[in-house]
Amino acid sequence: MDIRLAVMTGTDSPVPSCQLTIHQPSIKEIGMIGEKDFFVGAQCLCIEKTMYIQDEKVLSTTSNFQIFMTIMSEKQEVEKKNNVLAVLKLLFPDYKVMFTPRTLLFNHQDGNVMIDENNFENLQEVFQQIFCLSAAGQQAFNPANDAAKKIADKLMRARQRVAAQRQAEGGDGSVFAQYLSVLSVGLHFPLQQVAELTMYQLYDLMERYSL
């Protein structure tokens, strides 16, 4: 499904295969849970199995959802699980989201929706666009042989380390706050107006302004 215009205009994005509609939170709404926690939750929701598994046999029999649920079930990852739930609350404000042993359950007055390994990656495709975490960067590595695969794996793990480092450094400053300030002053928009932008809109405008 083509949702490029939807993410640019900030409208809610339906995911028919999951029977859900995703609300794109504004920067102001993201501020309610905190930027660092938001990024942790977003990265968990967009998890990619190739970053955790190198064995081809295991890779072919494992799904992104299985890796995601494994992390969510680990006792030492309670904070990540809470971050994921906080982000899901922003994305699905009309639903109560719960984890069951094998599914992600969305409870609504009109009925329940279950997300499992059969439809989780459909949801991830929309998440990646909304969070500006497109899989295009991962697809850019298309190894032609085993040697190239090893190099690609190293590059992907390096990217993961850089992302983790940026996340750790996030406590010293806010990327969103910096972008809001730049666009507000540079484009002569009231700060409160800029704060109503979605993450995708903010990044897009910042990129255009920088160019």
What is 6-50 written as a DSSP string? Answer: HHHHT--EEEGGGTEEE---BHHHHTTT-HHHHHHHHHHHT--GG
Q: How far apart are CA 103 and CA 123, in angstroms?
A: 13
Backbone Cα Rg of the chain = 18
pLDDT tens, 16-65? 989 999 999 999 999 999 999 999 999 999 999 888 887 788 888 899 99
Q: How far apart are CA 126 and CA 14, in angstroms?
A: 9
pLDDT tens, 62-96? 999 999 999 999 989 999 999 999 999 999 999 99
- Of the pLDDT bands very low, low, confident and very high (cuts 50, 70, 90), residue 167 is low
pLDDT tens, 97-156? 999 999 999 998 888 999 999 999 999 999 999 999 864 444 333 444 566 555 555 555
